Amino acid sequence: MDSGLIALGAAVVGVAGTLLATVLSQRMVARVQAAQFEREQRVAQIGWLREQELAELNRRRESYAATNAAYTRYRVVLMYFLWLVHKAQVTSDERAALEEARHALHAAFAEAQMIASRVVLVELDVMNRALSETYRRTLRLDEGDPDPDGSFEEIHAELIGLGDRWERMRSVMRTDLGVDAPGVAVAPAPAPAPGPAPSRPAPARPPEPESAP
């Protein structure tokens, strides 16, 4: 009788141990799987955030490049228009070219203002106001009613100063994109003397026919 009870007890203990081992093993597997799933989720989240950062960086880079190109074109056109005003040679075509360049710059600025960093946005707003004021003074000079400080020489000097300011603006953009280290100063180019913008190239003349021998 005692042997039977011992055997029964041993069997119960064995079955209980087997069941308990199975339960513990399942729990351990579940914990390992949960931890692995959590790690995979973190890796996926980090990868997604990295992709978003790269996409945002690319959008800013494209916008800054477009803004820089639009500004360069507008400044050249405005400076040439100022020279024509000085020489009293403004035509309707030149007015249209100035307005086209100005609208292109406004479009580029508007797009950049939507995605630019805070430090770049501050510089953009300052540059935009300065350009608008220079444009206004140039038109006043063209209309024959210049500001007290709105002579050709003074406006020309202001346009040169805007070029120096844009060098700083471009440096801020490059720093924002991680191209330049913070605090890198850009030396402005020497200011050219007032004068006409480069003339447009004349159409090439067709070659004269060779004479017969």
Instruction: Please determine, for residue 163, whether its predicted confidence score (pLDDT) is greater than 80.
Output: yes
Question: Average pLDDT of 177-205?
Answer: 50
Q: What is the pLDDT of residues 54-94, one digit of tens each?
A: 778 788 899 999 999 999 999 999 999 999 999 999 999 99
**pLDDT score, position 140:** 94
Instruction: Please determine, for residue 194, whether its predicted confidence score (pLDDT) is greater than 90.
Output: no
**pLDDT score, position 19:** 64
If you average pLDDT over each of 50-59, 169-178, 183-192, which comes out highest? Answer: 169-178
**pLDDT score, position 12:** 59
Instruction: Please determine, for residue 22, whether its predicted confidence score (pLDDT) is greater than 90.
Output: no
Between these two residues, 97 and 178, which has the higher pLDDT value?
97
34-48, 159-173, 199-213: lowest mean pLDDT where? 199-213
Instruction: Please determine, for residue 198, whether its predicted confidence score (pLDDT) is greater than 90.
Output: no
Instruction: Give the pLDDT band of residue 192 (cuts 50, 70, 90).
Output: very low
Look over the chain and give the mean of its residue pLDDT values, rounded to a whole number: 78
Q: What is the pLDDT of residues 106-117, one digit of tens each?
A: 999 999 988 888
**pLDDT score, position 15:** 62
The string of DSSP letters for the chain reads: -HHHHHHHHHHHHHHHHHHHHHHHHHHHHHHHHHHHHHHHHHHHHHHHHHHHHHHHHHHHHHHHHHHHHHHHHHHHHHHHHHHHHHTT---HHHHHHHHHHHHHHHHHHHHHHHH--HHHHHHHHHHHHHHHHHHHHHHHHHTT---TT--HHHHHHHHHHHHHHHHHHHHHHHHHTTSS-TT---PPPPPPPS-PPPPPPPPPPPPPPPPP-
Instruction: Please determine, for residue 170, whether its predicted confidence score (pLDDT) is greater than 80.
Output: yes
